Structure 1
Amino acid sequence: MNIYEVHLSSWKRKWDGEFFSYNELYEMIDYVKDMGYTHIEMLPITEHPLDESWGYQTIGYYSSTSRYGKPDEFKAFIDTCHENEIGIIVDFAYSHFCKDEHGLYKFDGTNQFEYSDPLKAENIGWGTAHFDLGKPEVNSFLLSNALYWFNEFHIDGMRVDAVSSMLYLDYDIGQWKPNKYGGRENLEAIDFLRRFNETIYKYVDNPIIVAEESTAWPMVTGPTYKGALGFTYKWNMGWMNDTLRYMEMDPIYRKYHHELITFSFMYAFSENFILPLSHDEVVHGKKSLLDKMPGDTWQKFANLRALYAYYMIHPGKKLLFMGCEFAQGLEWRYAYGLEWELLEKEPNIKMKNYIKDLNNLYKNEKALYEIDNSYEGFDFIDPHNSEQSVVVLMRKGKNPKDFMIAVINFTPVVYYDYKVGVPYEGIYEEVLNSDNDRYFGSNQTMEGAQLTSINEKWHNKEHYIKIKVPPLGVSFIKGKDIFLDKLDINKEDKILIGGKNDKNEIINKKNIIKVQEL
């Protein structure tokens, strides 16, 4: 799952400020498919009165916004996405609603949809109202709404915004009252979210339900009968905050904060995570991802390429906000289109090509996605080299031959003859290097080189290879012609390794199997 996050109003904008309609946005489908993404996630497309809210202050929960056309045109757009094997996820705000008189606020003159208790009804920070999730009729309204979008528009998933504001009574500024047990948990919200997810799973085939939950609330994902909230995925906000804080540092200081880049692996499998580099990180004075990076122009682009490679090798599904794929220079501006003119510049078009190649590597290599929620799919070959700010990670698929090693260098120094522990004896090759001059790098690559393992222990492995590590760069390495050690051989001295026999050349040498892709 590799998600392209989009705000429809500002992906492109007409010269006079008018919006592109659904019928005019079909080029987005071609673009997303060409770039190798699997899903489009849209900021809310429900009707909302204020463009500045980006759709999160909803007024028409059953209405697709008229900004881009009619409901049938949106349905046709989704159908075309599906024809091109692209899934659609849409953001929804079920935690609060805006106070416009023609909306849900004091709908019949009383607190019909919101809490009667003003301390629970008012969202002071956002100037909105909270749904009273203890009322059966409000539950019915929201549950029916979710099913409406799945059944009528055939969306594939929804992201529920601001789940933390639903779970905690003290999330907002101002006064609050504890629950009946004296805690700060919103008990009816917990019950609602579990019922919400159970209902969707009951009536929808294979839905994607994503929680934007910014705290350490346990068991957000997983089945409700085990005590979880029932979401399919959760945004990994801890990973995002630590990683961006680390990447914003001058490389000279990174060795003192090495834990920021390694700590996320301590909890990477506690939930089913999505790694978000989202709209929230490139707005409100936070700067664009490119502008967050330290150094001169070359170093900024190199740092950003390293960030994207680290994000791709890290366990978890992927989400990248529009414009970040070609290194937009400015912050995201909701009232303007992206800086597409930057694609006339060499660094930006090469960044776009890099993301395309990285996306295709991710899509084509099972090791990068097949076991995303278990330590069985991950090996931290070397997490400890803080002095050189280098980490070596390995991702593994279900088949022993499916693995990918990434050597990530967060300093602008080239390291020659760098020893990397490898799992098997044989020949390895570099399959992608972020420092390639095709990507505006300095071309410190090993393209075409045969990396032969040496049978000595290193990094707690039985073998190692020597490589050249690029500056502020990442080298992706996989086995080319390797021996898979210590596999059981059946009585007939034959073994099938991950697929059909005609895909592998298998030679029995006692306890060694040679696997060579034909």
Structure 2
Amino acid sequence: MKVLAYSLFSDFDISLFVSGKHFRLYEKFGAHLISVNNTDGTYFSVWAPNAQAVGVIGDFNHWDRSTHPLNRRLDSSGIWEGFIPNVAKGTVYKYSIRDFNGKEIEKGDPYASRWEHPPRTASIVWDTDYTWKDKPWLKKRPKLNALNMPMSVYELHLGSWQRDPSEPKRVLTYKEIAASLVPYILDMGFTHVELMPIMEYPYYPSWGYQITGYFAASSRHGTPQELMFLIEELHKSNIGVILDWVPSHFPGDAHGLYHFDGTHLYEHADMRKGFHPDWKSYIFNYDRNEVRSFLISNAMYWLDKFHADGLRVDAVASMLYFDFSRKAEEAATNEYGGSENLGAILFLKDLNEAIYGNFEGVQTIAEESSTYPGVTNPVYAGGLGFGMKWMMGWMNDTLKYFKNDPINRKHHHHQLTFSVTYAFSENFMLPFSHDEVVHGKSSMIYKMPGDEWQKFANLRVLYAYMFTQPGTKLLFMGNEFAQTHEWDFKNSLDWHLLQHPPHLGMQKTVRAMNQLYTSEPALYEHSFSHEGFEWITADDADQSVFIYIRKGKKAKDTLVVILNLTPVYRQNYRFGLPIKSNWKEIFNTDATEFFGSGKLNLNTLKPEKQECNGREYSTLIDIPPLGAIVLKQTK
């Protein structure tokens, strides 16, 4: 017999799967290299409840539909399975499905751990075996990845961070990337990297956000084990790895999840709920238990098999609301007449409970742009259970403010002060991501007004503002050295810009800010709490000066941050001191090494008994043009 009756599923597995509570389906579904009756081969299983017949086709049987039919389980699970002898690792295959309507279709394996290099679309029999050497990292991860520790994230797209100069059209392999990325992140002082989606996807211009192979590392860069090597090398240098994860939608490619067995299996059958009009993609049916099991198992897979330290969950707002990006009259409603997608809300709560309940020291981060309450509140307290949420309002207000000519900034002062009113309503991450440097939005440096010197000074002070505000940080690749072009996924970053002093100075600034952020407890110990922030002056709109305090657990760690957001040199500027103490400038964006003008405060600032800003003691300081200063107490 060419296909032996065999199953990896117990009755308990089936009951968990159909109830939406099986979170390790990757151990059961897909292609598994095993031995049955002393014969090596591969066990296949796939969920296709409305199919009339399912078989395996591939290079091992000359793609003949008739030779290797799978057996349908006798229960109501809709699973087809069987063991095929002598099918070895590396075998290329698909599922041949006679669908609900009797049409013969070919599908890739939703649980395949490897796929062919696009544009080819077949799955490959593979394994996830790897001898990990990152145990020291995993042991200390709960401490280093905690919410009271610094998190400075470098977001990157593997295909365009660097390319081979001698062959610029070729993307680098995971191993080649490891050789240059690890030392670069170490040198720059980022604590984490965030990889834009590395799951297999067919259309390169989608940047990985339209996935067909949810359980497969993209073959564009190598094998699953080579991705594991990259993550391991980062871990060896105490660098955390966050993966972008897309449970919000998937493309309609013929070999993918769409219409998998001739019916709307993974996507919602009601296209008001199942189709995304902006992205022309299909929305998962979160009301279906088996779909929730699939998605949560996928999240667990990347944390389990690839030792990822966190997932940044894409487009959460699009999942939460039926009327996201739709006119009200075109949107569906829930059973109570509201716009909330109750199935998606249940899914996100189950997801976060499963992740935090099974993995120590990981984080989930929501890319969520709505005002949905409690995104980072625990599930038991009525929240969605995420660890952090992107602070989109802060990002939008900040960029709007900085685009203004400095002469007009006094009229927009509130755009920088307003975010503090809600800064502690969630655990916020402050992002300057890839989304801000594409589609005609211009690069970060060209968002800044003024001549060349002013553009760079503006960008330095913008980054200083981000690094000294409450919340964790995220910076997209190229932003750290003021990439001049918008991000182009087809080409490498413009690393040659570092030959020029302004760009080199910007890179040095970001390196110094990372060092400051990770070494000063006041900047991270209370990232998500009112305890860590206090204004000294928030109302000097006429001079566009902002002064605030950052506090750690110990009074001696207190910092004062001063921003001057005009090109006017503010000499002998008086401000109130939080503590009667001597103060020393420990950071200044105007340093000449940063391509600044060198207007520093080299002398110790001494307290004077003169009331200012409602404080008993004050002092005078010189604030450089378009500059940021950080002060710390000194004996």
TM, length-normalised to structure 2: 0.75
1:10 aligns with 2:160: yes
Matched with 2:227 is 74
User: Is the contact made by 1:125 and 1:173 (CA closer than 8 Å) also made in structure 2?
Assistant: no
Q: For residues 221 and 613 of structure 2, what CA distance do their matches in structure 1 show?
A: 55
Shift of 1:456: 2.2
Aligned-partner SS, 1:381: strand
Quote the residue 1:516 is aligned against: none
Residue number in structure 2 paired with 1:30: 183
Give the Cα separation in 1 of the matches to 2:226 and 2:271: 40
Instruction: For residue 169 of structure 1, report the CA deviation from its aligned partner.
Output: 0.5
1:105 aligns with 2:255: no
Which AA in structure 1 matches 2:312?
R
Q: For 1:182-331, list aligned pairs within 5 A.
A: 182-331=337-486
The corresponding residue for 1:162 is 315
CA contact (8 A) 2:481 2:498 kept: yes
8 Å Cα contact 1:48/1:57 also seen in 2: yes
Q: CA deviation at 1:233?
A: 0.2
What's the secondary structure of 1:428's corresponding residue? strand
Q: Confirm whether residue 461 of structure 1 aligns to residue 615 of structure 2.
A: yes
Q: Kindly indicate whether the alpha-carbon contact (under 8 Å) linking 2:375 and 2:389 is maintained by their aligned counterparts in 1.
A: yes
Which structure 2 residues correspond to residues 399-478 of structure 1 after superposition, within 5 A? 399-447=554-602, 449-478=603-632
Q: CA deviation at 1:240?
A: 0.1
Distance 1:85 1:466 in 2: 41
Name the aligned partner's letter for residue 618 of structure 2. Answer: Y
Which whole-Å deviations, capped at 9, do the CAs of 1:59-100 have from their partners, x for residues lacking one? 000001001111001111111111100000000110100100
2-structure distance, mates of 1:426, 1:374: 25
What's 2:518 paired with? 363
CA distance in 2, matches of 1:127, 1:202: 35
**Contact 1:4/1:321 (8 A) holds in 2:** yes
Instruction: Return 213-222 or 171-180, whichever deviates more.
Output: 171-180
Q: After TM superposition, where is structure 1 displaced by more than 2 Å over at least 4 residues in a row?
A: none
Size of the aligned set, in residue pairs, is 480
TM-score (norm 1): 0.92
Letter in structure 1 aligned against 2:370: T
The answer on whether the counterparts of 1:313 and 1:393 sit within 8 Å (CA) in structure 2 is no
How far apart in 2 are the matches of 1:278 and 1:310?
Answer: 16
CA RMSD of aligned residues (A): 0.8
Secondary structure of 2:559's counterpart equals strand
- Asked if residue 122 in structure 1 is aligned to residue 122 in structure 2, the reply is no
Kindly provide the amino acid, as one letter, of the partner of residue 325 in structure 2: D
Task: Provide the C-alpha distance between the structure 1 equivalents of 2:485 and 2:269, rounded to a whole number of angstroms.
Answer: 44
What amino acid maps onto 1:456 in structure 2?
Q
| 8 Å contact kept, 2:410–2:541 | yes
Cα contact 1:247–1:303 (8 A) shared by 2: yes
Distance 1:126 1:177 in 2: 18
Q: CA deviation at 1:124?
A: 1.4
- What are the superposed Cα offsets for residues 315-351 of structure 1, whole Å, 9 maximum, x if unpaired? 0000000000001111100101000000000111111
Pairing 1:89–2:242 present? yes
Q: How does 1:34-45 map to 2 (within 5 A)?
A: 34-45=187-198
Work out the CA distance in 2 between the residues paired with 1:28 and 1:461. 47
Measured in 2, the distance between the counterparts of 1:273 and 1:326 equals: 25
- Pairing 1:20–2:172 present: yes
Kept in 1, the 8 Å contact 2:168–2:492? The answer is no
Amino acid in structure 2 at the alignment position of 1:4: Y
Q: Distance in 2 between matches of 1:320 and 1:426?
A: 35
Correspondence for 2:549: 394
> Quick one: distance in 1 between partners of 2:581 and 2:293?
60
Aligned equivalents of 1:20 and 1:284: distance in 2?
A: 25
* Unpaired runs of at least 5, structure 1: 482-518
Alignment of 1:171 with 2:324, yes or no, is yes
Q: How does 1:40-55 map to 2 (within 5 A)?
A: 40-55=193-208
Distance between the aligned counterparts of 2:633 and 2:324, measured in 1? 49
Amino acid at match of 1:418: Y
Given that 2:393 and 2:419 are in contact with CA atoms closer than 8 Å, whether structure 1 keeps it comes out as yes
3-state secondary structure, aligned to 2:296: helix
Among candidates 292, 298, 313, match of residue 145 of structure 1: 298
Contact (CA 8 Å) 1:169, 1:178: kept in 2 or not? yes
1:454 maps to a residue whose letter is: E
Q: Report the 3-state secondary structure (helix = DSSP H, G, I; strand = E; otherwise coil) of the residue aligned with 2:457.
A: helix
Higher Cα Rg, which structure: 2
Quick one: distance in 2 between partners of 1:179 and 1:426? 59
Q: Give the aligned residue type for 1:353.
A: K
- What's the CA shift string for 1:156-196, capped at 9, x where partnerless? 00011000000000003351122121111111111111011
**CA distance in 2: counterparts of 1:164 and 1:89, whole angstroms:** 20
Unaligned runs of 5+ in 2: 1-150
Q: Deviations over 1:108-156 (max 9, x none)?
A: 0100101111211111110100000010100110011111110000000
Counterpart in the other structure of 1:61: 214
Letter in structure 2 aligned against 1:61: Y
Cα offset for 1:16?
3.5
SS of the aligned residue for 1:55 comes to coil
Distance in structure 2 (CA, Å) of the matches to 1:87 and 1:182? 42
Partner SS, residue 57 of structure 1: coil
Rounded to whole Å, the distance in 1 between the matches of 2:617 and 2:173 is 57
Whole-angstrom CA distance in 2 between matches of 1:101 and 1:173: 26
CA contact (8 A) 2:272 2:322 kept: no
Aligned counterpart, 2:19: none
> What is the aligned partner in structure 2 of residue 377 from structure 1?
532
